[in-house]
Amino acid sequence: MEIKITKAEVLKEKPDSATLGFGKKFTDHMFMMDWNSEKGWYNARIVPFENISLHPASTVLHYGSEIFEGLKAYRRADGKVQMFRPIENIRRMNRSAERLCLPQIPEDMAMEIFETFVSLEQDWTPSAEGTSLYLRPFLFGNDESLGVHAVHNATYVIIASPVGSYYAEGINPVKIMIEDEDVRAVRGGTGYAKCGGNYAASNRAGERAAQKGYSQVLWLDGVERKYIEEVGAMNVMFKIGDEIVTPMLSGSILPGITRMSCIEVLKSKGYKVSERLLSIDELAEALQNGTLKEAWGCGTAAVVSPIGELCYKDVKYPINNGEIGETTQMLYDTLTGIQWGRIEDTFGWIKEIK
């Protein structure tokens, strides 16, 4: 494919690693490509980072036709930059696109775009401990008409942001509130798709939890309010006795790439992993009888995030004395080790950037 590159005339100064935060600073360029139902994908281009101009009737502004991805490029000790399982993000983006009637991007085309764009922006990958270059691909319906129908025009964009260490102050287990009113998704809906609308619908519960001093909510299923689904915008895992339990992918749960990677690492080390239904009653019993040893969320941003306390119907349950557990720590060390190139990637997950 041809990607037309227009370089920025003046390059920005790279920010100090200590001030990065998450998603606040952006690189010099962005990737854009348009789609039309007759022409297919066209006009692939890398342009200077700038505001996007949209028609006021653009589909995305009215009907929420938008999907996105999130993945990182990491700087190794030898200076090279590498990505973690980008093919999985491409596949998931295409599954999300299918659900929202947005166009899919052929895998080899999507990979070539990642490689070209990240290669051009790789100097923006910071090198301080725990920092990385976060990539945010997104794709939206862009018809210039208010008619409600499957889109005929769409736009794909990738922006990149150098991000700070999630754990600059050390890994502190988080407090989670179990949400029994709002739901994030239902089977048959868009829960398995990474779409902006899912986030809009989950803000209210997040706000309520924050007001009570909790950092995230634990979502229950939308039908019975009984089975555990996810924690905030992360998948969730529990160590009950010797078994690692994570909710099975039922259609309302986002199939996380960190989740998938945790399962593969755990199985390779001989752990028993079950993807199954886990009810709040089973969890409450395990909390009360002491068999719940560890709990953690998993996602690209934090890798793993240990849960130190669960609150359900105003009763507080501490987990592992509010400390990170050994399995959580093992997963963190293994995944971050592979991502930053400190340990050998025996799984074939790494894509080196030239």
Ligand X SMILES: *Cc1c(COP(=O)(O)O)cnc(C)c1O
Q: Which is nearer to ligand X, 191 or 341 (CB)?
A: 191
Minimum distance, C-beta of residue 234 to ligand X, in the bound complex (Å): 5
- β-pairing verdict for 132-141 and 66-68: antiparallel
Minimum distance, C-beta of residue 206 to ligand X, in the bound complex (Å): 12
> With binding defined as CB under 6 A, does residue 257 bind ligand X?
yes
> With binding defined as CB under 6 A, does residue 100 bind ligand X?
no
Q: Which is nearer to ligand X, 173 or 256 (CB)?
A: 256
* Segment 283 to 342, residues that bind ligand X, using CB under 6 A: 299-300
Minimum distance, C-beta of residue 227 to ligand X, in the bound complex (Å): 16
Rounded CA-CA distance 92/115 in Å is 18
Q: Which is nearer to ligand X, 239 or 259 (CB)?
A: 259
Minimum distance, C-beta of residue 129 to ligand X, in the bound complex (Å): 21
| Of 217, 254, 286, 304, the one binding ligand X by CB under 6 A | 254
Minimum distance, C-beta of residue 231 to ligand X, in the bound complex (Å): 8
- Residue 193 structure tokens: 């798709």
Distance of CA 273 to the CA centre of its chain: 22
Give yes or no for a contact between 295 and 173, defined as CB atoms under 8 angstroms apart. no
| Of 234, 287, 307, 311, the one binding ligand X by CB under 6 A | 234
> With binding defined as CB under 6 A, does residue 258 bind ligand X?
yes
Minimum distance, C-beta of residue 89 to ligand X, in the bound complex (Å): 7
Residues 6+ apart with CB under 8 A from 232: 176, 206, 215, 216, 217, 297
Contact letters for ligand X, residues 68-87 (x by CB under 6 A): --x-----------------
Among 47-55, 165-173, 255-263, 306-314, which window interacts with ligand X (CB under 6 A)?
Answer: 255-263
Residues 312-344, buried b or exposed e (16+ Cβ, 10 A)?
A: beeeebebbeeebbebbbebbebbbebbbbeee
Q: Which candidate, 133, 86, 130, 92, places its Cα nearest to that of 351?
A: 86
Minimum distance, C-beta of residue 194 to ligand X, in the bound complex (Å): 5
Among 34-42, 100-108, 249-257, 325-333, which window interacts with ligand X (CB under 6 A)?
Answer: 249-257
Give yes or no for a contact between 67 and 100, defined as CB atoms under 8 angstroms apart. yes
- β-pairing verdict for 243-247 and 235-240: antiparallel
Q: Which is nearer to ligand X, 46 or 295 (CB)?
A: 295
Three-class SS state of 320: helix
Q: Give the interface size with ligand X as a residue count (CB under 6 A).
A: 13
With residue 286 as reference, give the H or E element that holds it: helix 280-288
* Segment 176 to 195, residues that bind ligand X, using CB under 6 A: 194
Rounded CA-CA distance 296/236 in Å is 6
